[in-house]
Structures are given as structure tokens and as C-alpha cells.
Chains A and B, each alone.
Chain A
């Protein structure tokens, strides 16, 4: 009986909740609960705060207010699908799920429904091939770029040769963690280093045996593809076995404040990649005064300026710029998802534009084209200073080795195209 009442209620409400068309609808598939909440919360805060800033300062994008639809996925693919289905009917313009698992679910679905999907620095790497993945974008960088950037950095540290060195990859045992393996294998043949692969199962709290193996084998470097609680545990375990932190490098999802603080001073010197700079950007002051002081902060407002907050805001900025571009191309303020896709494909982020937006140098300048949905792939290496509690950039943007990642992307995209009967081409 209870179920019938609830179902009746749901039917009644879904009838009344008709889509309101005079807005730009941006779904935020966030996760503020579960083992990955530590990363999901600041990202979502930054994402929403930036759109709220646009609403408060500019009245939205091109005069159209933005409406954010937040939906909690808990990093679970099933709930991600449910969120996608419940938000797409409202006129969602672009999806950024912040989960490689959900991204894999959504790639075929968004393509069939013709809604652009932007997986910034995550998701399926070969989506960089825009002729096969017309509706999927992963600029400014992807996992294979990250793997290549790491190796390039290590090459630089070791005088240009990694011959005979051993690199261990500690990875989340999922599509996310397995992504870089193919590139690292190619690179290990190319540069003559040995690659040890150590899988950590979801959610990543149990890593004793992996770190025991590292302790026994003493690899020269440990690379990590971790997320959520896995990062904190890995850094603590590395500290426990006395692995030198300066030889421990996480990717850009394993390098936020909350990953290193639990290990305290022992985490000092831990390195990670970053695809965006962290700085005291002028835009934060605007968010503070126009959004937070007005009581519109997403979350509790405590995350402003943090690594993942900055990245969430960066993601929102890229989406907003693409929408603005779409409005410019099509000459209408009320854009459709298909128009946003055109805007994304014509997107050009310049240093001057970033400065104008109050986030100078937040990312590399790049432009997107029909063929290349992947951006530049640049990454910086940053180091954690436990005493002052800050990340310091050690390098400028390092370029990946496109001659390695390029053919891999083409090969994987061609396999996907063959599997799904896609004829590559521009829309």
C-alpha cells in the first residue's frame, strides 16, 4: 500500500514537473557521500559556485540564467544512470559526471540522445578522437597524457634515461585505474624501464599487501592512479614502509589537500600531477563576495581555493565558455545541447581570456577542433609541503609525448568505431 501511495505521488509530481525552457540547464552529477565524497564535494562546490557567480554577476550566460540540477550519484554507475535519465528530460545541455565508470555508461547514451559529454581529464581516453566520438570531449588532458607527462618528468629528473629503473603503478582496480596501463607499457618498452602493476580494489582501504610488495621489491618510483579514500590510505602506507615520498607521484586525481593531510608530516614531499594551477585567483574574491556572502554557496563554502574546488570551477568555466561560444555561433541565447556541442568543438581558450575571467594561467591555452577533442594534454608536477600545508608547483606545464599517445588513441578509437559501426567523420 505504501509503495502504491509513493508511486502515485511520483507520477503526480513527474506530471507537474514539466521542463522550464527559458533557462540553461546544467546537471551536476555530484557525489557528496560514500568513499569518494572527499574528492566529489570540493569539485561540485567549485562547479556550482562558478555558475552561481555567473548568475549573480552577469545574469547567467549571454543573459540566460543558469539552473543547476544537482543529483547525487555516490560514484555508483547505477545511480549515475538514474541521475542521467532523471535530468536529461529537463533540457540538460552538458554532462560532466566526474567518474570514469559513469562516463563509460554515458558515452553511448549521450551519443544516442545527442547531448555533449565532457570528461575533463578522466573518462575514455580515446574520446580525444573527435571524428569517432562526436559527442564526447576530454580536453584539456586525458589519462594517457598524464602517464606520458609523468614519464617525461621522470626522464627529465634522471638525465634523459630510465633504462633499468623500476616503476610501480598502484591503481584503482577499475576502468579508471586501468586506463594508463596501455600507455605505460608502450613507454616502458620505449624507455627500457620495468613496470610493476599493483591493483587496489574498490574502495581502496585495504592496501597492506600491495605496499608489502613495494617494500620487498623497492621500485625506484611509485606512480598512483587513485581516487577517494584510496589516496589517503596509500600515502599513509607509503609513509609506514618508509618509501621516499619524493619518488611517489600521484596523477591529478591523487593530489588534493585531503589526500595528504591525514598522513601529517609524513606526507611531506609527496608529488602529484595537476592539470590546473592553484593560485590565489581574483575570481575567488568574486565568488566569496557575490555567492558565499549572499548565502548561495554550494556545500558549506569551506573548500574555496582548494585543488579540486579550483578544478571544479575550471570545469564550469570551460562549460560556460563553450555555451557562450555556442550562443555566438548560432546567434541565440537559448541554446540546445546540439548547439553547445558546436560551441565545444569551436572552443578556444586563450591566456587573455583566462585573465579576463579572473583566473589567469589556470590552465594551458588550447583550442578544440572536430578532429581533436583532447586539448593539449599538458600537466604540471606539484609537491606537498606539509609544514605550510600547501602544494607548490615544481615545474611549468610539461607536454606529453604525442607520438606515443596519438597512435594509441587512433587505434583504440578505430576499435570502438568498428565495434559500434561508426563511420568516423565530422558532424
Chain B
């Protein structure tokens, strides 16, 4: 009735090529943006910002980054935590070396630095595939964490080996440091998420995305039809690392404020982001958001229901959380291997046919 192409006439190529061909989707998209930009900033408090929205937005960027590499280009990576650490440490070094430059530029440059590091670690992908590549990226993960722990220059030789974000402003508003207002932290993450998502969506819709998918589906065939595997794979690593670097910089500067590399960017972070991508849906930007939301919100929701509503002991809730999340991951992998994004796709398909399903 309301969700279908019929009656929505396109009169130009630009209209025909737009991201959301269905009118309802376009309205929904603008509505989500309006709520995110015009409603939430006025309602948000410390708890909602620091426990839910800021981590969700930051993980969404990381998931988009990994999705480009793993979902679109088919290169499995277990180095996400290490690449996030590169973004965080680059941001820290830039923040302390150039205190007068705006933090937004620092975050963007951190993404650039991570892109270079990511491309360097992507070189083995030209020779090895699948599990072997996963092991090579795993090496990147351990090497980078070790490096940031070992070399004092990266943490400015602080006694504890921690890096902590000094207060930085965008305009008159503090976005990092303890005095940052929750809405300011939320807004800077939201702006980065919006830009990253729009850029990623359009990259993957265009020539580049098709090249990536060609490599993913069959690299030899792709090479035969003229896709350069060297350039394509390295581009995938660089773009993916760029997004992951941005998320690492935001994770350190805006969300946590002080970071210890082994604890914050360990192997468990790589797995967490990989789970987000798998649960959300490989090869889908919406899936990255869905996966991030699922894995950020679920523990908070379970904790809330278990300890605050039911009054169960906190250790029981914490153990249950592991059980439930593990069970849900298995459930999704069996019942819906294409992730939450596939559920959404099926829903849309059903809506199109409604009310006359066949």
C-alpha cells in the first residue's frame, strides 16, 4: 500500500539511481536523521550518552569499516582492535603535538594514518586468502598492541603507559575531556557516523563497490574481466582501516578519555566488531548499524532487566549475559546466516507484496 515502487515515477537518471528508490524509505531515512539530530541531543543525559549512544555510534563506524573489508571484499580480518589502536594513538599524538589544531582534523588524519598502516598489513592479502589471511591480520593485532605498549614515544613516556585525552573544543563546546557535555559527545560522533555511512554507502554502490564484490565472489574471474586485484584489495584495506581508525580515535578521545592499549584494543575488540558485522549482516551498511546496536544494547538491556528490575545478583546476570549472547549468536548463525540485515530485507520484500502475498 505505502511501501512499493508503483506510482513513484522517476524522471531523471539521478532519481533512478538514488539510494532509496522507495518513497517510504526516503521519508523513514529523513525521519531517523531528524530524530537523531533534532530530538536526541535535547533529551540525552550522561548515562544515555556514555553507556548507549556514543559507544553505539563509534562501534557502528568500526563495523562499517570492517564490513567494507570483510563483507564487500571478502577479506577476513582479525586486526580491527589493532587498527583502532592505531587511530587512537595517532589521535593522541596529534592532539598533544598540535594542540591548536581542531580535533576534527586530528580525527580525520588519524583515519588517514590508520589507512596507511592498514594498507601495509593488507599486502599479504595478495598472496594468501581465507583463514591464512585471518592469521596474518591476527599477527597485525598482536604486533600493534605490543608496539604501543613497548615504545614510550607513542604514549609520551607517561609513567602508567596510559594515554589520556586532553580537553579539546569544536567551536566553543568541549567534546573531549571530563567537562564535555553529553550532547556534544553525541553530536560529534553522530556527525562522523552520518558522513562515514553516506560515504561508505555510495562507495559500495559505485564502481569501487562492484570491484570489491567481484573480488569477493571470485578473484580469478574478477581479474579476467579487468579488475586489478592488487589495487582493489589494498584499496579495500585502506578504506576499511580509515573508518576503523576514525572509530578508534573517537573511542579514545570522546568515549573513554583514557585508554590502555592491551585492555581497550585487545583481541576481544577484534572479535566484538567481527561479531557485529556477522550478526548485522555481511555486505550491508544497515547491517553494520544493526549489529553494533545489537551488541552494544543487549548487554545493557540484559543488565538492566536482570539486576535492576529483577534484583538478581550481579555475577549471575553477568554470566547469564554471556550465555544469552552466545546462544543468540548461534541462533542467528543457524536461522539467519545473512544477519539482521537479511531480516530487514525480507520484511521489505513482504511489505512490497502486502496485502497479496503469494
Contact = CB atoms under 8 A, between A and B. Distances in A.
Note whether A and B form a binding pair. yes
Interface in B306-323: 307-309, 313-315, 317-319
Interface string B140-155: 0000000001000000
A52 B309 CA distance: 21
A340 B56 CA distance: 35
Interface string A90-118: 00000000001100110011011100000
A113 B45 CA distance: 13
Interface stretch (B47-55, B215-223, B237-245): B47-55
Interface string A49-93: 000000000000000000000111010111001100110110000
A158 B110 CA distance: 52
A182 B160 CA distance: 9
Secondary structure of the A contact surface, majority rule: helix
Nearest to B290: A3
B50 A10 contact: no
A411 to B, nearest CB: 10
Interface in B19-41: none
Interface string B250-289: 0000011111101110100000000000000000000000
A174 B161 contact: yes
B31 to A, nearest CB: 14
Given A6-B301, A85-B51, A112-B179, A76 B315 contact: no
Nearest to A105: B258
B308 A17 contact: yes
A303 B257 CA distance: 36
A311 to B, nearest CB: 19
Given A13-B308, A202-B266, A182 B166 contact: no
Interface stretch (B66-74, B117-125, B187-195, B292-300): B292-300
A256 B259 CA distance: 28
Nearest to B146: A201
Given A3-B294, A71-B314, A201-B262, A86 B159 contact: no
A173 B149 contact: yes
A10 B266 contact: no
A174 B266 CA distance: 12
A88 B46 contact: yes
B177 A108 contact: yes
Nearest to B160: A175
Contact of A86 (B47, B161, B309, B317): B47
B179 A33 contact: no
Given A32-B318, A173-B262, A108 B257 contact: yes
A72 B300 CA distance: 11
Nearest to A108: B178
A124 B160 contact: yes
Contact of A33 (B167, B264, B315): B315
Contact of B263 (A33, A202, A419, A421): A202
A229 B297 CA distance: 29
B164 interface: yes
B47 A178 contact: no
A279 interface: no
A259 interface: no
Nearest to B322: A33
A226 B262 CA distance: 15
A113 B181 CA distance: 12
A199 interface: yes
B301 A10 contact: yes
B348 to A, nearest CB: 14
Contacts of A85: 46-47, 50-51
Contacts of A86: 47, 51
A145 interface: no
A179 B314 CA distance: 30
A181 interface: yes
A7 interface: yes
B177 A82 contact: no
Interface residues of B, number: 45
A178 B160 contact: yes
B314 A101 contact: no
Interface in A189-228: 199, 201-202
Contact of A77 (B161, B177, B256, B305): B256
A420 interface: yes
A174 B315 contact: no
Most buried by B among A3, A100, A175: A175
Contact of B164 (A70, A72, A108): A108
A23 interface: no
A87 B315 CA distance: 17
Given A30-B314, A70-B314, A111-B178, A178 B159 contact: yes
Interface string A1-36: 001001101100110010000000000001011000
A85 to B, nearest CB: 4
Contacts of A419: 166
A385 interface: no
B95 to A, nearest CB: 11
B204 interface: no
A412 interface: yes
B260 A101 contact: yes
Contact of B162 (A30, A41, A76, A175): A175
Contact of B300 (A10, A101, A108, A412): A10
B51 A7 contact: no
Contacts of B308: 13, 17
Contacts of A89: 45-47
B160 A82 contact: no
Given A104-B164, A175-B161, A77 B263 contact: yes
Given A13-B309, A199-B149, A82 B51 contact: yes
A124 B164 CA distance: 13
Contacts of B314: 30, 32, 70-72
Contacts of B166: 419-420
Contact of A105 (B257, B304, B305, B315): B257
Interface string A405-418: 00000001000000
Interface centre among B159, B255, B307 (most CB of A within 10 A): B159
A122 B309 CA distance: 33
A33 B303 CA distance: 14
8 tightest CB-CB pairs across the interface, nearest first? A32-B315, A112-B178, A108-B178, A175-B160, A72-B314, A6-B301, A82-B51, A33-B318
Given A81-B51, A85-B46, A173-B149, 16 more contacts: A3-B294, A9-B305, A13-B308, A32-B314, A32-B315, A41-B315, A72-B314, A72-B315, A74-B318, A77-B264, A78-B264, A85-B50, A100-B160, A104-B258, A178-B159, A199-B149
28 contacts: A6-B301, A6-B305, A7-B297, A9-B305, A13-B309, A30-B314, A32-B313, A33-B315, A70-B307, A77-B256, A78-B55, A81-B255, A82-B51, A82-B300, A86-B47, A89-B47, A104-B160, A105-B256, A105-B258, A108-B177, A108-B257, A109-B257, A175-B161, A175-B260, A202-B263, A419-B166, A420-B166, A421-B167
